[in-house]
């Protein structure tokens, strides 16, 4: 797949026609339901499917408004809870979403270009804006903002992230503890651009990752980050 497939969805109620989504699985119904809900607030949402160069046959489904990237889903056929890319594209066409060879949204085009550079090892900092308006709680959005400050090739533990914010919060230390940070990290709607993969366990091991530990390991290896049990390439 040398070119990303881009398409725009403006159809209210498309999610209802596509059928229900399944928990923890990227599905046509789940994607269209999110776009119906988010697009009602932010206007048209452009979506493109791009290759995930670190894992064969995997891909990233990127959604963006004119203000910024709002969501990135990982389509990972190695997982039994994911759909193969070809099947996913076929279902999108069946749902009435005609693919094209070029995303119309300027922000989305920039994101796809930067993702390609990142996977080639040429880009270390994303300049594409992020638009997570209406997503997450105020606490979660603070965590997501803080994630963007972790440099390329570096890591931070859940506890370090919690301590960096604890003194500025009126929520108290328990609400800002490592577990709460980990939960907010797992709900990050824009992985890679907002690098939740750079947050690891206190003992230096990988910890968790909503996209799967194989993906987290591949991203950290690409960046040359040192993690217990993971040798930088």
**Domain holding 149: CATH number?**
1.10.10.10
Identify the helix (H) or strand (E) that includes residue 51: strand 45-51
The pLDDT assigned to 104 comes to 67
Rg (CA), the chain: 18
The pLDDT assigned to 151 comes to 95
The pLDDT assigned to 167 comes to 55
Q: Are 85 and 59 in contact (CB under 8 A)?
A: yes
DSSP strand pairing (45-51 vs 5-9): antiparallel
Q: What is the DSSP letter of 102?
A: S
Task: Among 86, 119, 152, give the residue marking a domain's end.
Answer: 119
Q: Is residue 129 part of a domain?
A: no
Q: How far apart are CA 68 and CA 196, in angstroms?
A: 18
The pLDDT assigned to 100 comes to 43
User: Which residues of the chain are under the pLDDT cut of 50?
Assistant: 1-25, 79-82, 98-102, 169-174, 231-233
Domains in the chain, number: 2
Q: Model's pTM, two decimal places?
A: 0.78
The pLDDT assigned to 230 comes to 52
The pLDDT assigned to 133 comes to 81
The pLDDT assigned to 80 comes to 44
The pLDDT assigned to 219 comes to 94
Q: How far apart are CA 72 and CA 138, in angstroms?
A: 20
- Domain hosting residue 113, numbered range: 5-119
Task: Among 119, 147, 179, give the residue marking a domain's end.
Answer: 119
Joined together, the tokens standing for residue 116 give 């390609």
82 & 172 share domain: no
The pLDDT assigned to 149 comes to 94
Active site residue 166: no
CA-nearest of 173, 187, 88 to 132 is: 187
């Amino acid at each position: 797949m040398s070119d990303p497939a881009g398409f725009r969805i403006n159809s209210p109620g498309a999610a209802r026609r596509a059928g229900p989504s399944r928990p923890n699985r990227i599905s046509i119904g789940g994607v269209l339901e999110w776009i119906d809900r988010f697009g009602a607030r932010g206007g048209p949402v452009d979506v493109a499917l791009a290759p995930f160069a670190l894992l064969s046959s995997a891909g990233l489904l990127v959604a963006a408004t004119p203000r910024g990237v709002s969501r990135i889903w990982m389509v990972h056929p190695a997982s039994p809870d994911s759909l193969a890319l070809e099947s996913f594209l076929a279902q999108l066409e069946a749902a009435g979403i005609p693919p094209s060879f070029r995303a119309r949204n300027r922000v989305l085009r920039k994101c796809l270009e930067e993702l390609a550079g990142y996977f080639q090892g040429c880009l270390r900092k994303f300049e594409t804006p992020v638009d997570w308006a209406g997503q997450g709680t105020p606490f979660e959005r603070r965590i997501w903002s803080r994630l963007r400050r972790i440099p390329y090739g570096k890591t931070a533990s859940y506890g370090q992230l919690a301590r960096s914010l604890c003194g500025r919060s009126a929520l108290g230390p328990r609400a800002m503890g490592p577990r709460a940070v980990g939960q907010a990290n797992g709900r990050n709607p824009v992985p890679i651009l907002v690098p939740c993969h750079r947050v690891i366990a206190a003992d230096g091991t990988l910890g968790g990752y909503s996209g799967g530990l194989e993906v987290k390991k591949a991203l950290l290896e690409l960046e040359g980050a040192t993690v217990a049990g993971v040798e930088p390439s």
